[in-house]
Every structure is written in structure tokens, then in C-alpha cells.
A = this chain, B = another copy of it.
Amino acid sequence: MDAKEYLKKTSALMDGPIKTYIPDEEPMRLIEASRQYPYAGGKRMRPAMVLAACGAVGGDKTKAMPLAAAIEYIHNFTLIHDDYMDGDDMRRGMKTIHVAYDMPTSILAGDALFAKAFQIIAELDVPSDKMREILKFVSKAVWDLARGQQFDIENEHKLVSEERYTETIFLKTSVLFAAAAAGGALCGGADEKTVDAINKYALDMGLGFQMFDDYLGVAGDSSKTGKSVGNDLRKGKCTLMVTYTLENLKDEAKLAKFKSVLNNMEATDAEVREAMEIMREIGAIAYNKKAAEDKIASAKAYLDILPPSEDKDFMIALADYAINRDV
């Protein structure tokens, strides 16, 4: 099973449906702004997760398609608000919403997508008791996403603990993956035990995915990732590599050198290379990679509850892909 192929297939499958939930309506400026991200395509990992989880529990995937769109809208709503908060001007080669339109339109387009997601959930063609469970997962995820983004902002220019780091990526990445997976399973009629296992799979998958992302930022090939290697260090981005180094490095001179690079945009390339060498020596880079791999192994184990199927294979392949990619 090639996860990338499956992703491409479901992304194409969602392309039509995802455009059916935001009809032409005044004010069109708001409608157009809210459509920009969801209509633009992209990997659509979360919709794929909804559909795969539904299929893997033996459900009818067409019933999960509206939820797949709703989860993507929620993801897009957070991107729009985050882009404005973070002052990012471009995303996927397009101007971000507050740049292409204006500040109020970006806030309202986010709010509108958020509302639309819950309108879609209210109309899901599943028994109302199942719909209620889906609503619990999704609304809790959005609450947690706001907490995660607040953590992320508060973490800036600070050296936080490994625990705090893990909590932040859990809230920012894992919970929406988990709402997608658990929601898909509920659309498919899964029982509580299966939903719980699929939820835990996605939570760990999200953690492993983000940890490996951090790893790529340091150990990856910048010609592929598009990030200049080591820039995360200059920006003081909190990663397991950094927290591990800070907690385990006993050599005072090296520690001072390492800290002088962190959160220092003026650090030279030579200084950054030295900081990376310090992390490598002490085993921080290997520690980070291992942590990502452990989370993925843990994630996959939860899927043992499922009978064999192509959708289950995708869920496994997606977890493997999370830690076997160069971009």
C-alpha cells in the first residue's frame, strides 16, 4: 500500500464534494475568502483519515464524505486564523486570506468555515446518537486547537520542557487527526471499543508525524524540505532535540555555545553547524527520531483490533509514511 497514492486518490475523490457545502450567497467577498483554502487541494490527510476509518470498520464511505469535508474546513479555519496571528503572508504559493482580502474578512472567513463544519455535522446521515458522539470529538478538538495555538505562541522565545512540547503538538496536531479518525469510525457504525482504539491510533500518529517533522527540519535535505537546515534552531523552535540537549548536556562550555545559537537569528552558519554537531554528539537527534518511531509503532498497534482491509492498510501505511519521508 502506497500512502501517497491513496492520499492522491481520496484528495481527488473529495475535490467535488468539498465544493458543494458553501453555496453562492451574499456577501460574496466572505464566501470567496472562506473557499480559498478548502478548494485549493493539498494532501487532504484529514479527509483521507475520515474515509479510511469509516471503511476500515466496514462502513459506507459515502456517508462519511460530508464529515471529511467538515474536518477539512476546521483545519482550514485554524490555518486562516493562525496565518493572521503569525503574520504569514503566503501559503501553498498563494497569498494568505488577510493579505489577499483584509484582516476582518480573514477572521470572519475562519469563523464562517468553523460554523459551516458544524452545520454539516448536524446534517450527517447517521443516527443522531452517533452524530452526538462525533460532535463531542470535533468540538473538543477545536477547543484543544485553540489551547494548542495559545501554547505555541506562549512558547515562542522560551525554552520549554519536553512535557510542555509534547502537550503543545498533541493539541495542535493530534486532536484533529483523532477527531477525523474517530468521527469516520462512528460514521461507519463502529462500537465504542473500536472507536477508542482508532482514536488512540490517530493521537499517537499525530505526535509521531510532528516529531518527525521537527527532525526533518534539522536532519533533512533542505533541497527537498524547502527549509534551510538549522533555521528552526535560530528561530528557537521547541523540539525534542532541543529539550533533550538542554536537559542532558553537562559540558558547561558546550551548553553555553548551544544556548547562544538558540533563538538567535544572527547566529552564523558555522555556529549553527556546531550546535547541530553538539545535538548529534549527545544523541539528541537520534533520540528525537526514535521518539517519533516509537509513537508510530504504538499508533499502529492500536489497529490490531481491525479486520484486514485496504483502508486498514492505508492507516498503517500512513503511519509508516509519517516517519519515512523526505518532505
Contact = CB atoms under 8 A, between A and B. Distances in A.
Interface of A: 25-27, 29-30, 81, 84-85, 103-105, 107-112, 114-116, 118-119, 121-123, 127-129, 131-132, 135-136, 138-140, 142-143, 145-147, 149-151, 153-154, 167
28 contacts: A26-B147, A26-B151, A26-B167, A27-B147, A27-B150, A27-B151, A29-B154, A30-B146, A30-B147, A81-B107, A84-B107, A85-B103, A104-B150, A110-B111, A111-B146, A112-B143, A112-B147, A115-B142, A116-B139, A116-B143, A118-B118, A118-B138, A118-B139, A119-B143, A121-B135, A122-B135, A128-B132, A131-B132
Contacts of A29: 150, 154
Contact of A136 (B119, B132, B145, B150): B119
B142 A122 contact: no
Contacts of A132: 122, 128, 131-132
Contacts of A151: 26-27
A118 B135 contact: yes
Contact of A150 (B108, B129, B167): B108
Given A128-B131, A132-B128, A139 B115 contact: yes
Given A26-B151, A27-B154, 18 more contacts: A26-B167, A27-B147, A27-B150, A30-B147, A81-B108, A84-B107, A109-B146, A111-B114, A111-B145, A111-B146, A114-B142, A115-B140, A115-B146, A119-B143, A122-B132, A122-B139, A128-B128, A128-B129
Contacts of A115: 139-140, 142-143, 145-146
Nearest 4 Cβ contacts at the A-B interface: A128-B128, A115-B142, A118-B139, A115-B143
Given A121-B135, A135-B118, A142 B27 contact: no
Nearest to A127: B128
Contacts of A139: 115-116, 118-119, 121-122
A105 B135 contact: no
Nearest to A144: B115
A107 B129 CA distance: 32
A108 B153 CA distance: 11
A109 B143 CA distance: 10
